[in-house]
Structure 1
Amino acid sequence: MEWFILFIVGVVGGVIGSLMGLGGGVIVVPALLYLSAYGLIGDISPQLAVGTSLLAVIATGLSSTLAYYKKGNVDIKSGLLFFIGSGPGGVFGSWLNGFLDAETFTLYFGIFIILVSLLLFLQNRLTPVDLPKDNRVMMTYVDAKGIEHQYGYHLPIAVIISFVVGCTSGLFGIGGGALMVPAMLLLFRFPPHIAVATSMFMILLSSTTSSLTHLYLGNIEWILALLLVPGAWFGAKMGAAINTRLKPVTVVLLLRIFLLIFGLRLIIDGLL
């Protein structure tokens, strides 16, 4: 039964991660911790949960990136530039993870989940910021309807933000898209579907560096990963397909509520 549960966890993480550009670890890490707490998968430390989750995030990132790339939605250049920050950030976050015990990790992770939930609640209510156009990397995208979209970013600012995103990926095993997508929408004015697709490409790269660091530190439970990865792969394909056909308003709303409740539960567990 636990094998089936882990496969479903991978599918759900893949769908949510690919659909919204989050990466999916925001589902996988809490699920591993709770399955462990209830004795379904053995004793899993925060470090093992994060390291194992990152393999599922890699599968989600690769599967969804390939799907989005076929549709021409991935900004490869921007993703590689963002990786200048997210790559080292992932290694640094993975190193920081080793200093957290179970209670501290649960508390900090709960606070982070609450912040992500609030950010998703406010995302559609925030107004894009007008940044100076001097020394910006400017991009032009023509969508399927022939409408031209222009967006751009200051590379130093983008690298700093992506470093923070990579750090959260290595620290919490979540991918980091929960921070990167809003930044791409509000600061850099990416079209939403380009932001999600490019976020998944960057998550693929940064999660790989984070995962290699956790591999070196011995923080991967391979049996669990082998059950999660196939589900994450298929889930990511489903999420990418849904993203191109439907407005994920209902999914976003459910995810916001889920994260808010789950974050509060993690904080309570960490405090107690």
Structure 2
Amino acid sequence: MSVTYMVSGFAVGLLVGLTGVGGGSLMTPLLTLLFGVSPTVAVGTDLAFASVTKVAGTFAHRYKGNVHWHIVRNLCIGALPAAVLTTLALKHFGGLGAEIGQLIRYSIAGSVMLTVIALIFRRRMQNWMNAHPSRQLHGAKQTAATIISGSILGTLVTISSIGAGAIGATILVLLYPRLSPAEIAGTDIAYAVPLTAIAALGHWWLGSIDWELLAMLLLGSVPGITIGSLVSRSIPEKVLRVLLASVLTTVAVKLVY
């Protein structure tokens, strides 16, 4: 089973390296559907997995100057308190109970479908926003919208472990359409590090992290992400996104039915 976990970590890492998204959207459903891991443990383990793997990405993007720290700060102002409050709510309502597990399962399915929408329509959204500058937010309104978006993402990520990647990046496209793809990716990864770390600590407190499973996934994911990043330019982005969207849609349907 340990080898299977490593292979799964490699496969998810490969897709993340190829497309830049899909870590939580793939890993959590994979653990739930394929290996029979309970939804709460799958979410907690994936959050710990994400908090470790995103650190390296943040350093790389920081080195290249792709991180806008004022945006990271505003997202965290909303996201981190939301993650703490959501953890307390899970504890209060029984974070490891069967009913909460079912709620998390549906939350995962909903988050996966939001990720699919983000994958398909992100570029169209960016083009539309750039074509309608009068609809773009600026100043205090932009800051407030960023903080509110952070709080929504903080809640979503803590419940389902999904949303910090594709959904977060899509929100950045809508709020900051002038950012380059590299800046969107770098800023999105940077804010996700403290968010997933706080959420992971909360799930550790709830007792919903499988540390042996986490270690196996990390051993497989590191070479997968590396290889995927190296060969990503040789495969058309549109093909990869359509493939990933198709896989995620199938996953969401299976989670519900």
- Aligned residue in 1 for 2:70: 77
Q: Which residue of 2 aligns with 1:191?
A: 180
CA apart distance, 1:96: 4.5
- CA distance in structure 2 between the aligned counterparts of 1:57 and 1:174, rounded to whole angstroms: 10
Q: Distance in 2 between matches of 1:93 and 1:234?
A: 33
Q: Deviations over 1:108-164 (max 9, x none)?
A: 32233123212322222222263243x25xxxxxxxxxxxxxxxx721110110111
Partner of 2:256: 267
Does residue 31 (structure 1) correspond to residue 30 (structure 2)? The answer is: yes
Matched, 1:206 2:211: no
**Match among 236, 246, 252 for residue 241 of structure 2:** 252
TM-score by length of 2: 0.83
Percent pairwise identity: 23
The reply to whether residue 49 of structure 1 matches residue 42 of structure 2 is: yes
* 2:61 match: 68
Could you list the per-position Cα deviations for residues 67-118 of structure 1 after superposition, in whole angstroms to 9, with x for gaps in the alignment?
A: 2233332223322332111212222333445264333332332233123212
Cα distance 1:197–1:19, how it changes in 2: closer, same or farther (>3 A)? farther
1:159 paired to 2:147: yes
**Residues of 1 paired with 2:7 and 2:23: CA distance?**
12
How far apart are residue 19 of structure 1 and its match? 5.4
Counterpart Cα distance in 2 of 1:20 and 1:35: 22
Aligned residues of 1:21 and 1:200 also touching (Cα < 8 A): no
Q: Secondary structure at the match of 2:187?
A: helix
Unaligned runs of 5+ in 1: 38-43, 137-152
Q: Show the 5 A alignment for 1:118-137.
A: 118-126=117-125, 127-128=128-129, 130-133=135-138, 135=139
Distance 1:204 1:54 in 2: 10
The structure in which a higher percent of residues are helix is 2
Q: Which residue of 2 is the match for residue 144 of structure 1? A: none
Q: Aligned-pair RMSD on alpha carbons?
A: 2.5
Preserved CA contact (<8 Å) 2:79 2:150: yes
Q: Larger strand proportion, structure 1 or 2?
A: 1
Distance across 1 between alignment mates of 2:89 and 2:114: 20
Instruction: Kindly tell me the number of residue pairs found equivalent between the two proteins.
Output: 244
For structure 2, list consecutive stretches of 5 or more residues without a partner in the other structure.
none
Partner of 1:116: 115
Measured against aligned partners, the alpha-carbon deviations of 1:189-247 in whole angstroms (never above 9, x if no partner) come to: 12111101211111111000001111111111111011112333344444555668876
Number of the residue aligned with 2:208: 219
TM-score using structure 1 length? 0.79
Whole-Å Cα distance in 2 between the matches of residues 105 and 167 of structure 1? 12
Matched, 1:176 2:169: no
